[in-house]
Amino acid sequence: MDRIAITGGAQLKGEIPISGAKNSAIKLMAASLLTEEPLRLTNMPRLADTRFLGKLLQRLGTEVVESVGEDGPETLLRTKEIVSAIAPYDLVRQMRASFNVLGPLVARTGQAKVSLPGGCTIGARPVDLHLQALEALGARIDLHEGYVYAQAPRGLKGGRIEFPIVSVGATEHAMLAAVLAAGDTEIVNAAQEPEMIDLAECLNAMGAKVSGAGTSTIQIEGVGRLSGASHAVIADRIETGTYAVAAAMAGGEVRLTRTRPELIQSLIDKMVEAGVEVTANADGLTVKRNGRRLRAVEIDTAPYPGFATDLQAQFMALMTLAEGESVIRETIFENRFMHAPELGRLGADISVSGGEARVRGVEALEGAQVMATDLRASVSLVIAGLAARGETVVNRVYHLDRGFERLEEKLGACGAEIRRIKGGDEEE
């Protein structure tokens, strides 16, 4: 199993291009099930998660062709015919977001059988809101032997979907299903993340009629069919924020390109409060820290435009070296402090009580062997290793490969001493 080794102490200087957003790309790929015509996605990230979903889509009948165009990696998807409306456990279990093929399959074929995705290390993340949304559109839902059976033999019907809590995945799922439903659909208490806008823009380019994406209420006028389209995937705001924090942790000056500062404004505000210099550029932002010690700050995770839960672990790593005590409150997932004990192995002083972590800054971190527990926790350990004395080895980095494209290459190009150890043997 691969590991990543980091020798800390090197400042970062250079440029890091940001890839397309994983969280958007996988939902855009699912949208290809809604039409028999080709959907061309540019600025596509090449990740374990997109490969997993590509395999599932191929099982359902989608032709998936990856290439490199003028604007970088792109993927052409075409589902001339749904050859199977069954998404088996062996594929769905590899990535929760693959459950979102359920809505498009029902919308196009009137039926689907999709495995429940199973548990998650960072919390329960139930799919009940997804199923309630489909029921509001007229689907009949049955659960049997770990599978969801959804049927709408006469097609989905527009309806009102009001979520009791904000859910990114359920909002996206409802959008994917409602665009082909007969009549009008209103989604209330919708997630407002930039990925909602990205999905709506792609669907509209395919002929859908979606308005209000990015606000708490989304209106959808159902159409009879969708056509093919070409769409550029939005920049990955979590990758943007991750490398911004990495630059602040290691010190130096890093320019992040092919992204937009407003995607991570809540993070930028806290970084500036901590003493990091962040400036906007025409195609991204520059993060600079001259070595002066950071100041402790408080954060509360919240749905967009609040502080992203997917950046909480990275920011905790940054606060381990800040002067004073930082307070980090996790309000989205109930079990998302598993990185705290691993940061403690590097010398961090962190105490966790329920959904609150108190981080008392230390003078220095010391390299050690650590274990990745989930995607964002994994990269927080890499970030900490950039500043730790000596060598830090992060185990189980398959988590990292799910969401970060060419991590070692991007950090190494800016001067980080980082390498991948393949299968227990050091990579030459």
Superfamily of domain 22-232: Enolpyruvate transferase domain (3.65.10.10)
Residues making up the annotated binding site for phosphoenolpyruvate are 22-23
Selected catalytic residue, list 65, 68, 83, 120:
120
In this prediction, the residues of the chain whose per-residue pLDDT falls under 70 are: 118-126, 424-428
Buried-exposed string 156-182: b where 16+ CB fall within 10 A, e elsewhere: bbbbebebeebbbbbbbbbbbbbbbbe
pLDDT tens-digit readout, 283-322: 999 999 987 899 999 999 999 999 999 999 999 999 999 9
List residues forming the annotated binding site. 22-23, 96, 125-129, 310, 332
Please report the pLDDT score of residue 378 as a whole number: 87
pLDDT of residue 424: 54
With residue 319 as reference, give the H or E element that holds it.
Answer: helix 312-319
CA–chain centroid gap for 112, Å, is 26
The pLDDT score that the predictor gives to residue 122 is 33
Query: What does the domain layout of the chain look like in residue ranges?
Result: 3-18+235-426, 22-232
- Confirm whether 202 is a catalytic residue: no
Q: 22-232: same fold as 3-18+235-426?
A: yes
Going by the annotation, the residues of the binding site for UDP-N-acetyl-alpha-D-glucosamine are 96, 125-129, 310, 332
What single-letter DSSP state applies at residue 293?
A: P
CATH superfamily of 3-18+235-426: Enolpyruvate transferase domain (3.65.10.10)
Nearest one of 190, 180, 136 to 303, comparing CA atoms: 190
| Phi, psi torsion values for 352, nearest 5 degrees | -120, 135
User: What pLDDT was estimated at residue 161?
Assistant: 98
